[in-house]
Chains A and B, each alone.
Chain A
Amino acid sequence: MPALNTVGHSTPRIDAVERVTGRAKYTNDVQLPGMLYAKVLRSPHPHARIRSIDTTRAQALPGVKAILTHETTPVVWGAGGIAGGQQYNDEVKKITKHRRYAFNNPVRFVGEPVAAVAAENRHIAEEALRLIAVDYEILPFVLEPEAALESDAPKIWPEGNIAVNNRNEPLPITQKRGDAHAAFATAPHVFEDRYSTSFVHNAQMEPRSAVAHWDGDKLTLYTPTGGISNCQHDMARDLGIADEKVRVVCHYMGGNFGNKNQNQDGDLITAMLAKAAGAPVKLEFSRKDDFIGMHGRWPTVQYYKVAVDNDGTLQAVQLRGYSGMGPYRKNSGAIGGIELYRCPNVDHVVTPVYTNRTVSANFRGPEFPQGFFGIQSMMDDVAYKLNMDPVEFGVKNMSRMFRDEVPFTNFTLEECIRRGAELFDWTQRWRPLPGADAGPIKRGAGFTYMLFRSGLGMSSAVVQVDANAKYTLFVGVTDVGAGAKTTMGLIAAEALGVPLSQVTVVWGDTDRCPYSVGESGSRTTIMTGYAVMEAVRDLKQQLAEKGMPTGSQTLVAKASPNPRLEGKVRNAFGAHFVEVEVDTELGHVRLTKYVAVHDSGRIMNPLTATSQILGAATMGVGMALHENLVYDQKSGQPLSAGFYYDRIPTHLDAPTVEVSFVENDDGYGAYGAKSIGESGIILSPGAINNAIFNAIGKRLKDLPITRDKVLGALA
């Protein structure tokens, strides 16, 4: 892989100075003349029918300018993909029986919006919320997916608690090959186990905020979004107006992690308040509102059954999985992991289930960290039971083709695992006999590997040059934290053959930038980056034909490529190796070594790529050891909303991660770039759990692995 001039060199972010000096303007820095402040009244009940809602006293409060409820504002909120990524479009909106509005009646989780107020200041808005009288008929509720499937469980929707797809069918997600049942009957070894994962919140630094302003029939929405184009389209669809009547602006934002894709109900509520009040409106969520009013990762229960030959060759894998979706299906509820193994017989059935909890949806690798935790813990356990080194078991059984039939564009998984084992010194750190240390402090090592989508797709870019050879790149990206603006600039500079300083990047404004795919699914670099290359190719051709523009003229090139892969699947690969120290008297787990090896294709900017892996691995530590939105089973109230109560990792909880990249260029994407943003988190919970097993000889099966669970396992 030949080196490039600009791409591939560590480059500080082009907006780093603005960010650290406070000059960067985030959504809640936006101030407009005559701007009102919004507050949302949220349901205090996990499930209740609103008998009546009286806003008379709130309306009468001086300074209150608009109040919305389910009665005044029956607007459907359509964001999200309800079945395996199928978007909630106009057709679905028309036919679905489980229609989700901006304000719903009945309310189905604690924190669901009941009403919203816009007032002259936030104190008046808060006072107005207190003056809204809501008469609730309390309904029975259910919090856990398996309990929700019991025959006597309270029904969250009249059709029952299995989440429906976009054709109103309550169908599980299935994947079958061969005959797993027959394999279980004949295989020499069959193992079964149950794993579970908790609801963890995206916990991005910046809580949701929005500023909406109508100029006649045109809406301008300032909002932190991982996709201005998607947000624009979603807002237009939900408001029943044309896409070009919505301008979405996001210049800076404080993290996404899947929580800010599409339009969120806060965006819609702010826009409708601004319309009703005839003035700009700003809405800012509190941290608690953000935790219970926005979505997090779906909790899962996973029952595995695995058949293996005497030589450790996998014969069959069965999964019966249940995902807790909250009361609305905002994403698929799938459980990833089956694809990690080469196996002739697969029987995978995952049922997404409605519960009376905060909604579950996209969070950094939506279905993978929870699924990889389950299956990679299960397989680690199988390896020990067969007296095999888990690394050798993994290499023996890992997928080498997608679903054992479609080749990958390149395959470096074994190289990632071997390099990781070497850098980590696996043979020295791994205990062949788990729990062998004398204690009370015991060490152990564990590993997991992964493959993860890196597909191609459509996006757009515009590049322009003026007479002074100044290049301007227009890309509809936002920087969710992964450095997209800088990366797009680097790709343009590379393609143009000019230094980065000669390229101005314009981003984050649907009135100025072309469509971009959105900062979700780890795809901006692959898709929009490729569009940048294509736009530059066009511009260079124009330059060759017409020469540099003169005077006030410019040359402009636009590209909207939609590349396809024929007969191949494109994946990123990786392996994480973790060493832990477990205090067997206190249950405290400390990470003492962490090696992460990734094939994310060609690395555009090693500085950012490395910090993506570090940040994601740290997020995985939180999921593995701490985070859980705990509910009181009796009252249905969330007890641990917020950074403190949810035990988001602090600096001292973050491991030192040694990151190594297996770089290559498979000829696709922007200069061979593959996905990276989500990869790091999906490996760590399983690797940490496997290391804990190696240290103490006891298998933990339920996330988070808190200290009392570790002591309980040792008791």
Chain B
Amino acid sequence: MLHGMTTTRYEAPGTVADALSVMAAHPGAMILAGGTDLLVQYQAGLRTPSAFIDVKRIPELMAIEADASGVTIGAAVAAADICAHPVIRAWWPGLVDGVQLIGSTQIQGRGSLGGNLCNGSPAADATGALIASGAVAHIAAPSGVRTVPVEQFVLAPGKTALAPGELLVSVRLPKPAAHTADAYQRLIPRTEMDIAVASVAVSITLDPSGLCTAARVVIGAVAPTPLLVPEAGAALAGTTLDAAALERAALAASAAARPIDDKRGTVAYRTTVVGVLTKRVAAIALSRAKER
């Protein structure tokens, strides 16, 4: 329902500081980046913000900055720009795996990384890979900037670590160690343009002999939040990712899953396939890491 009898303000601040003051002045406001979720939900009457605060005019939120120790991605940067960025493509192919699955080509031209994260969805396609690669979120608050690991950012479906009046500015990914690579896959009911029923992101680091020295396994859409599963990572670390190790990781992932039954998938199905995906995604990460 559109609210014909009420009005909704539109603000477009040019700096983070201005954005914070506009947010303080409009407690019922919502941040507008690509709008690919928010505007649709607004049109459907599911969201009724008192104001839209468009953050696309704030330079920090629109930039990708690569340096020797990592890359910082502005929260409002569109999916298409992330997928096209040469350093991101080279260092985090698993992040690109996930980001390029968000919506359609048109959606990717607008939909932002920050929006994907701030939706607080357990099924968000970018979040798993960010967690697997140890990304941190930079959050601007009236009291200053704070940093939160992405695995602590999503608290519950639709709920994030952002306090009222706080703004996600960017996400920082540390440069991967040598022989490190990531991968991401999801399972959806149809073949494209759908939301994950189960997803897995894996990042692994090998030593020069090919032995896995560290692994992070993240499962999505099978719990209220994306879950970093240390047991699955531990099952891979110290192995060559042989079949037995992959099987142990799969069991750990399935054991950690706490899915719900809904119209898109059952508990039993989600629990099973998150294990299968763990094996497959770890194998992809392994082959990528070997090429490094």
Contact = CB atoms under 8 A, between A and B. Distances in A.
Interface in A116-132: 121-124, 126-127, 130
Nearest to A124: B4
Contact of A707 (B187, B193, B277): B187
B163 interface: no
Contact of A647 (B1, B189, B272): B189
Interface stretch (B58-66, B203-211, B263-271): B263-271
B192 A652 contact: yes
Contacts of B272: 711
Contact of B193 (A625, A650, A712): A650
Nearest to A708: B269
Given A126-B1, A653-B190, A586 B273 contact: yes
A124 B5 CA distance: 8
Contact of B194 (A588, A647, A712): A647
B148 interface: no
Nearest to B266: A708
B193 to A, nearest CB: 5
Contact of B190 (A123, A626, A708): A626
Interface in A629-648: 630, 639-640, 644-645, 647
Contacts of A554: none
Given A626-B189, A639-B263, A127 B4 contact: yes
Tell me which of A122, A647, A708 has the highest count of chain B C-beta atoms within 10 A of its own C-beta: A708
Contacts of B24: none
B190 A126 contact: no
Contacts of A711: 269, 272-273
A644 B265 CA distance: 15
B189 A706 contact: yes
A588 B187 contact: yes
Contacts of B194: 644, 647
A651 interface: yes
Q: Is the interface of B mostly helix, strand, loop or mixed?
A: loop
A226 interface: no
Interface string B10-28: 0000000000000000000
A684 to B, nearest CB: 16
A110 to B, nearest CB: 15
Interface string A366-402: 0000000000000000000000000000000000000
B107 interface: no
A123 B276 contact: no
Interface string A432-470: 000000000000000000000000000000000000000
A160 interface: no
Contacts of B2: 122-123, 126
Interface centre among B5, B193, B265, B269 (most CB of A within 10 A): B269
Nearest to B185: A586
Interface in B50-101: none
Nearest to B187: A586
A707 B5 CA distance: 45
B106 to A, nearest CB: 13
Contacts of A639: 263
Given A123-B2, A126-B1, A708-B269, A653 B263 contact: no
Contact of B269 (A590, A652, A707): A707
Given A586-B273, A708-B265, A708-B266, A649 B190 contact: yes
A465 to B, nearest CB: 48
Given A124-B4, A640-B263, A708-B266, A652 B191 contact: yes
Interface in B179-235: 187, 189-194, 197
A587 interface: yes
A139 to B, nearest CB: 25
A291 B5 CA distance: 28
Contacts of A588: 187
A649 B2 CA distance: 29
Contacts of A127: 4-5
Contacts of B197: 707
A126 B4 contact: yes
Nearest to B280: A585
Interface string A122-148: 111011001000000000000000000
Contacts of A652: 190-192
Given A121-B4, A586-B273, A707-B187, A645 B192 contact: no
Contacts of A707: 187, 189, 197, 265, 269, 273
A414 to B, nearest CB: 35
Of all A-B residue pairs in the complex, the 8 with the closest CB atoms, nearest first, are A123-B4, A708-B269, A652-B191, A652-B192, A585-B276, A630-B263, A653-B191, A650-B192
Interface of A: 121-124, 126-127, 130, 585-588, 590, 625-626, 630, 639-640, 644-645, 647, 649-653, 706-708, 711-712
Given A653-B191, A712-B269, 13 more contacts: A123-B4, A126-B2, A127-B4, A586-B276, A626-B190, A639-B263, A640-B263, A647-B189, A650-B190, A650-B192, A707-B189, A707-B269, A711-B273
Interface of B: 1-5, 187, 189-194, 197, 263, 265-266, 268-269, 272-273, 276-277
12 contacts: A123-B2, A127-B5, A585-B276, A586-B273, A625-B190, A644-B193, A644-B194, A647-B190, A649-B190, A650-B193, A707-B187, A707-B265
